[in-house]
Amino acid sequence: MLRTSDPGGYTSAVSKRGLDIASLTPEERLDLLEELWDSLGATPEAIPLTEAQRAELDRRLDDLEREGPVGIPWDEVLGRIRGRGR
């Protein structure tokens, strides 16, 4: 596992120069990926959106405001699935 008791939660092997990703086992690579994802999720405001992403989010929000929520509630979906087996 790549986590340690370091304040940042990462081993010294996780450095720009010292990490040989190819030498990691698949499990270690998944652990590293999870740590990277979690570190990005901790500060989502630090990840800039592209203009295309911002435009798409604006479009979806406009659709939501105009049409309201679209879709089927989960309990209805589950009921339909359970009803098929009868």
CA 53 to chain centre: 16
Q: Return the pLDDT at 9.
A: 52
Domain ranges of the chain: 1-47, 49-84
- For 14-46, the pLDDT digits (tens) are 555 678 999 999 999 999 999 999 999 899 889
* Cβ count near 32 (within 10 Å): 20
Residue type at position 24: L
Q: Are 34 and 27 in contact (CB under 8 A)?
A: no
Against a cut of 0.85, is the pTM above it? no
How many Cα atoms are found within 13 Å in the side-chain-facing hemisphere of 59?
6
Q: Return the pLDDT at 75.
A: 95
* Cβ count near 11 (within 10 Å): 16
